[in-house]
């Protein structure tokens, strides 16, 4: 996963860009290591929940915020508490990282980029972050602090030599279905940009068809959750009938988690294949800025929209375009791509969602709703690329009234041209 990049002169020599890359693979800890890691997960969860509770109490009663230095001092006090003396049995690094992550979560919340941080549960995903001081990596063997012996893992990237891997951080996690994973965060050289493909494409996302491209190609929606909904419902009914705290309930919960994992993995595989194919075959990709959070409020379409994974699709396109040297243009959320004639620019006053095809009153061209929108999105993307040729890959085209975000381009309404909306007289 692409995280960050830098390049420049270091020590008088030119160095290529460096990107933060993550490799996630299966881990198979033995019984002793599982006990140590489970104890670490529990300590991380206790530190997170107690710190979060104290933050909330301090704000509600005193109307004062909490700094990271104050949480760090509170952790020292917690370790000296006789009731929490077992916090000293695990590595202190994952505990410190939990405080850093909570501080970052609150900064994202106040920056309106995320919701309010929540308490951690023992039934959800458990993880611990280890920095360089808490692990060693030699000849492909990973050793964690406070854990005896190397951690067994399966490396799935034959083109990368795990023996020379130099990770900056290691994340050990356990999913609700019982599987263990280890993630290596490394600083790697940025790959070379892909050769020019000589093509541009506009994409309109939907539910019936996952996406429609401006050249007329369609990719059907695989509906991963809908295909497994019956089995998932049966497993959930069995879970509801089990007594709380029993071993059978734990087994039923793991079976529900495995069913969700299969859906999640199938969706991720589909999105990766689709985005990779788009990035390799096009120099410029134009998509629309969808308000997914507002769209899922429709209870009739919420599950179908969530099953599509539009947000993850856009995220993958963004970092893959940046890594491959492609341009990603995100058109304005209020751009009327569906109601605009891609042939003459006529703009309809309204177009119900149930209308899947319409004829332009001006030029009498018959349009498929989704294909017409994809053509208009491509036209708007090409116009933005011409107006701002020097912008970096992944530049956004947003409406001036939208909330402030990281945006490289802001485009005003365009003059009359094919594919750009033009209000006609009387409309």
Active-site positions read 204, 288, 370
Helix (H, G, I), strand (E, B) or coil at 140: coil
Asked if 333 and 287 count as a contact pair (C-beta separation under 8 A), the reply is no
Residue 118 to residue 105: CA distance in whole angstroms: 10
Asked if 206 and 370 count as a contact pair (C-beta separation under 8 A), the reply is yes
Helix (H, G, I), strand (E, B) or coil at 327: strand
Q: Enumerate the β-bridge partners of residue 137.
A: 142
Nearest to 383 by CA among 202, 226, 123: 202
Rg (CA), the chain: 25
Asked if 421 and 335 count as a contact pair (C-beta separation under 8 A), the reply is yes
- Between helix 92-110 and helix 68-80 the angle, nearest 10°, is 150
Place of tokens 């940046």: 322
Nearest to 2 by CA among 330, 415, 319, 348: 319
SS3 content of the chain, % helix, strand, coil (to 5): 40, 20, 35
Q: What are phi and psi of 84, to 5 degrees?
A: -120, 25
DSSP code per residue over 211-257: EEETTS-EEE---HHHHTHHHHHHHHHHHHHSPTT-HHHHHHHHHHH
Helix (H, G, I), strand (E, B) or coil at 147: coil
Nearest to 144 by CA among 33, 283, 219: 33
């Amino acid at each position: 996963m692409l995280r960050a990049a830098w390049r420049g002169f270091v020590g008088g020599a030119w160095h290529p860009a460096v990107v933060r890359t993550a490799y996630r693979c299966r881990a198979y800890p033995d019984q002793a290591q599982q006990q140590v890691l489970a104890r670490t997960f529990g300590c991380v969860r206790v530190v997170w929940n107690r710190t979060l509770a104290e933050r909330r109490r301090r704000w509600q009663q005193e109307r004062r915020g909490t700094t990271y230095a104050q949480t760090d001092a509170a952790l020292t006090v917690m370790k000296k508490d006789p009731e929490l003396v077992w916090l000293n049995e695990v590595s202190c690094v994952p505990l410190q990282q939990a405080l850093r992550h909570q501080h970052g979560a609150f900064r994202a919340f106040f920056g309106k980029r995320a919701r309010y941080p929540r308490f951690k549960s023992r039934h959800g995903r458990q993880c611990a972050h280890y920095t360089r001081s808490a692990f060693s990596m030699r000849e492909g063997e990973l050793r964690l602090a406070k854990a005896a012996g190397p951690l067994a893992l399966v490396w799935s990237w034959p083109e990368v030599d795990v023996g020379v891997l130099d990770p900056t951080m290691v994340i050990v996690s356990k999913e609700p279905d019982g599987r263990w994973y280890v993630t290596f965060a490394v600083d790697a050289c940025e790959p070379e940009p892909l050769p020019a493909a000589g093509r541009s494409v506009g994409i309109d996302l939907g539910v019936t068809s996952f996406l429609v491209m401006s050249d007329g190609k369609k990719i059907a929606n695989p509906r991963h959750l809908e295909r497994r909904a019956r089995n998932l419902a049966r497993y959930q009914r069995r879970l509801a009938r089990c007594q709380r705290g029993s071993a059978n309930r734990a087994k039923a919960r793991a079976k529900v988690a495995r069913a969700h994992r299969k859906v999640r993995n199938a969706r991720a595989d589909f999105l990766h294949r689709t985005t990779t194919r788009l990035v390799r075959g096009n120099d410029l990709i134009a998509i629309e800025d969808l308000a997914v959070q507002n769209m899922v409020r429709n209870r009739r379409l919420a599950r179908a929209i969530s099953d599509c994974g539009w947000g993850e699709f856009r995220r993958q396109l963004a970092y893959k375009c940046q890594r491959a040297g492609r341009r990603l243009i995100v058109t304005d959320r209020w751009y009327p791509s569906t109601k605009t004639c891609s042939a003459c620019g006529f703009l309809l006053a309204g177009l119900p969602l149930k209308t899947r095809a319409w004829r332009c009153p001006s030029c009498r061209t018959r349009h498929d709703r989704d294909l017409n929108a994809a053509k208009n999105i491509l036209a708007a993307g090409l116009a933005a690329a011409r107006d701002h040729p020097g912008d970096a890959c992944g530049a956004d085209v947003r409406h001036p009234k939208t909330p402030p975000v990281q945006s490289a381009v802001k485009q005003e309404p365009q003059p009359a041209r094919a594919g750009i909306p033009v209000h006609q007289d009387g409309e």
